[in-house]
A = this chain, B = another copy of it.
Amino acid sequence: MRPKQHPVTNDIIRHLYYHGELTIPMLSKLTNLTVPTVGKLVEELLQQHILIVKGKAASSGGRCAFSYALNAGMAYCVVVCVERFTMRIAMTNIRNEFVTPITSVNIGIATPNEMLKILQQNVRRVINESGVNRKLIMGIGVAIPGLINKNSGINYSYFGNANRSTTEIFAKMFPYPVLVQHDMDVMARAEHIMGVGRRVENMLYLYLGATGIGLGIITNGQLYLGHEGFVGEIGHIPIADNNKLCHCGKTGCLETEISETALAAKILESIQGGASTILSSYLQNGNYELTLQHILQALHGGDPFTINLFSQLSEHLSKAITIVLHLLNPELIVLGGELSGAQQYLLLPIQQHLNKYALPQLLKNCRITISTMGTNAPLLGSVPFIVEHFLAEREAEPKSGKQRA
């Protein structure tokens, strides 16, 4: 008997999720509903404990409005991210806040089936230990690297093979919806919803990881996934004239210059060629491996060799950034991933090189910054996906009983 109301309350919840805190007149503008209508709906949502009164907003010349927010205890998300050596799991509330510690599990060289087991066990443990009412869990978000088909859920790296859809596998494993997403897209979304990219319509998230490079794209205010979800494969753009063979089989890929192994190899070569750097000390006593951690440590320690190394690396990166800048004219480019830990040692040379390569009109109004979300991005970025899915389901629902609260 309420044909439109249910979708409309979802709209209110959605806006409150993205804005955090809103007044009735603000919601009226955002939803295109009149103030009395929004007033009634908010009243209803308050009674269902979906909303809470947050306080009074500052007056803008008249009676000051009450502001409302989502009740943090209204709904929860389980978030998982799969990384090189570990899988991290935690629970958040609907306000993007962690409500459990982040569990980190070693995954070693687990087979797809072992990975599934590890995931299942640990997700269950996190849910148990959280003490949260299971009915309030909206879903599970899983961020994984590699190519993931956005329609079938088929991916070519974890949890299965080219024939098994992860979506189907997980549907049998959990009583909650499980959303598997490319980690790049999850991080881009995190940055866009709760990081430096808030309210930005067109932005790029450039992930500079130890093992690879990727790009997450936000166009017209929404995540762009492309036809099948294979967006942002920037690591294999032929950009370097170095003749180095990439693991993809081609030469000159961006990734042959920018990765932990590429950096380590370059350093080793230089040291053998007589270069003087603090990094030599790590290579004593039969230890021939340099990790990114060592390199970043040397960098922030002020080692001139390493600083120069990052300046060189920035040159290649700048060429790639120039390409995406010229193609997509973003308002903001966010740099994330382990390599972005280089901070100013990366950002400043990039900006310098961009002045050389990029068209000034495009560069002028494009901000470039380093992510401040750290390792939380691939976890928190799943929350908006889960919230959207939850609200979409809620809309499709037969208008049966009252909603969870």
Contact = CB atoms under 8 A, between A and B. Distances in A.
A265 interface: no
Contacts of A219: 219-220, 224
A147 B156 CA distance: 41
Interface of A: 147, 156, 201-202, 215, 217, 219-220, 222, 224-234, 236-238, 241, 248, 250, 319, 322-324, 326-331, 357, 359, 361-362, 365-366
Contact of A237 (B147, B234, B323): B323
Contact of A228 (B228, B236, B329): B329
Contacts of A330: 226-227
B224 A220 contact: yes
A231 B327 contact: yes
Given A220-B219, A227-B365, A227-B366, A237 B201 contact: no
A365 B229 CA distance: 12
A219 B204 CA distance: 14
| Secondary structure type dominating chain A contacts | loop
Contact of A329 (B231, B326, B328, B331): B231
A106 B122 CA distance: 73
A330 B225 CA distance: 10
Given A220-B219, A226-B329, A227-B201, A233 B362 contact: yes
B226 A328 contact: yes
What are the 4 tightest A-B residue pairs by CB atom distance, in nearest-first order? A226-B329, A227-B331, A233-B326, A230-B329
Copy number of this protein in the oligomer? 2
Given A202-B227, A234-B327, A248 B359 contact: yes
A326 B237 contact: yes
A33 to B, nearest CB: 11
B234 A329 contact: no
B366 A326 contact: no
Contacts of A319: 238
Contacts of A328: 217, 224, 226, 231
Contacts of A147: 361
B220 A327 contact: no
Contacts of A226: 202, 328-330
A233 B331 contact: no
10 contacts: A201-B227, A219-B219, A219-B220, A227-B331, A229-B329, A230-B362, A231-B329, A234-B327, A238-B322, A250-B357
A394 B341 CA distance: 51
A46 B60 CA distance: 47
Contact of A236 (B201, B220, B326): B326
Given A227-B331, A227-B365, A234-B326, 15 more contacts: A219-B219, A220-B222, A226-B328, A227-B329, A228-B361, A230-B362, A231-B327, A231-B328, A233-B326, A233-B329, A238-B319, A238-B322, A248-B359, A323-B323, A327-B327
A147 B326 CA distance: 12
Select the residue from A220, A224, A237, A328 with max chain B CB neighbours within 10 A. Answer: A328
Contacts of A238: 319, 322, 357
Contacts of A202: 224, 226-227
A1 B329 CA distance: 44
Nearest to A241: B241
Contacts of A230: 329, 359, 361-362
